[in-house]
Amino acid sequence: MITFKQIDALYWIAELGSFEAAANKLNMSQSAISKRIQELEETFDVEIFDRSKRNARLTEKGGELLDYAKDLLERRDYLLERVSAREVLVRRFRLGVTELTALTWLPALVEALRQAYPKVQIEPSVELSSELFRKLENDQLDVVIVPDVYSDARFVSTPLKSVENAWMCAPSLISHPDPVSLEVLAGCTVLTQGSQSGTGLIYERWLASHNVQMPKTITSHNLLVQVGLTLSGVGVSYLPKACLSHLIERGALRALVTKPGLPRIRYAALHRTDRQFGLNQNVAQLAVECCDFSRLLL
């Protein structure tokens, strides 16, 4: 007879890549976790892990068993979530956000989640939109908060607030009075976030729709680096206006008025349609309530 303890051991070994890491995660000895896998192997009379490899690599049958194990664990969590009081629900929750969310309102969301689900273990991940979306696809994250650029029937999308961006530069970089044309910007070095960023992808498409090419670009996947390079006068960049208003007011940055102006970036909370547990939906609703891109926490 199989147990959830054995299934948990299988899941965490596969997730973390080693018996040792899984043992640390589950607060048990490596020999104890090995025993649970041996019990599973004896029950099904199959080899689950290829022990000739240095890392814990699943056999073909082991991979098949892992798929069923994930389904069992999800159904267990669903049962606990539906039947238990929130105060006693124990579950890991994998939340993915972009850097802008992490630097503005992520602490408010985490606090709201802790208040609603005191025993839920929150595992945040801060990455580019494309990587967050890939991990959501692969069931490595439960909810992601990203620019609303992914239209896919496999995911439930809850609209959040939008971000107003503006072209910004060091005041000495561009002397041209407002409004500044896109052609003037195209003659400058442009600091971009690249197409792996949801915002970067949206603006690449927007510039292409206006037949504007930016021949001199520097791509940064780090928002703080992008702000730092802009402050240093390296180039002109699109940056969130509200949370950088203190730098604009101090004269450290100039927010350019352009025609046409940049479109706002709508954010959304996404989770998989085949994982519509109450917790995922509730976190998306908490994100609606907490979403506030106006204040940088630094």
**Residue 51's pLDDT is what?**
76
**Residue 292's pLDDT is what?**
96
Distance between CA atoms of residues 278 and 156, nearest Å:
13
**Residue 87's pLDDT is what?**
60
Give, in degrees to the nearest 5, the angle at Cα 108 between 104 and 223. Answer: 20
Structural domains of the chain sorted by starting position, each given as residue range(s) with its CATH number in brackets = 4-83 (1.10.10.10), 86-160+267-290 (3.40.190.10), 165-263 (3.40.190.10)
**Residue 262's pLDDT is what?**
94
Q: What pairing do the DSSP bridges indicate for beta strands 180-181 and 155-163?
A: unpaired
Q: pLDDT 10s digit of each residue in the chain, 298 long?
A: 788 888 888 888 888 888 888 888 888 898 888 899 898 888 888 898 887 767 778 888 888 998 888 888 878 777 776 666 666 566 789 999 999 999 999 999 999 999 988 888 899 999 999 999 999 998 899 999 999 988 888 899 999 999 999 999 999 999 889 999 888 898 999 999 988 999 999 999 999 998 988 899 999 999 999 999 999 999 999 999 999 999 999 999 999 999 889 999 999 999 998 776 678 888 999 999 999 999 888 6
3-class DSSP string for the chain: CCCHHHHHHHHHHHHHCCHHHHHHHCCCCHHHHHHHHHHHHHHHCCCCEECCCCCCEECHHHHHHHHHHHHHHHHHHHHHHHHCCHHHCCCEEEEEECHHHHHHCHHHHHHHHHHHCCCCEEEEEECCHHHHHHHHHCCCCCEEEEECCCCCCCEEEEEEEEECEEEEECCCCCCCCCCEEHHHHHCCCEEECCCCCHHHHHHHHHHHHCCCCCCCEEECCCHHHHHHHHHCCCCEEEEECCCCHHHHHCCCCEECCEECCCCCEEEEEEEEHHHCCHHHHHHHHHHHHHCCCCCCCC
Read off the amino acid at residue 238: Y
Residue 143: phi, psi to the nearest 5? -140, 140
Nearest to residue 168, comparing CAs of 85, 66, 250, 73?
250
**Residue 85's pLDDT is what?**
62
Name residue, tokens 């992490």: 102
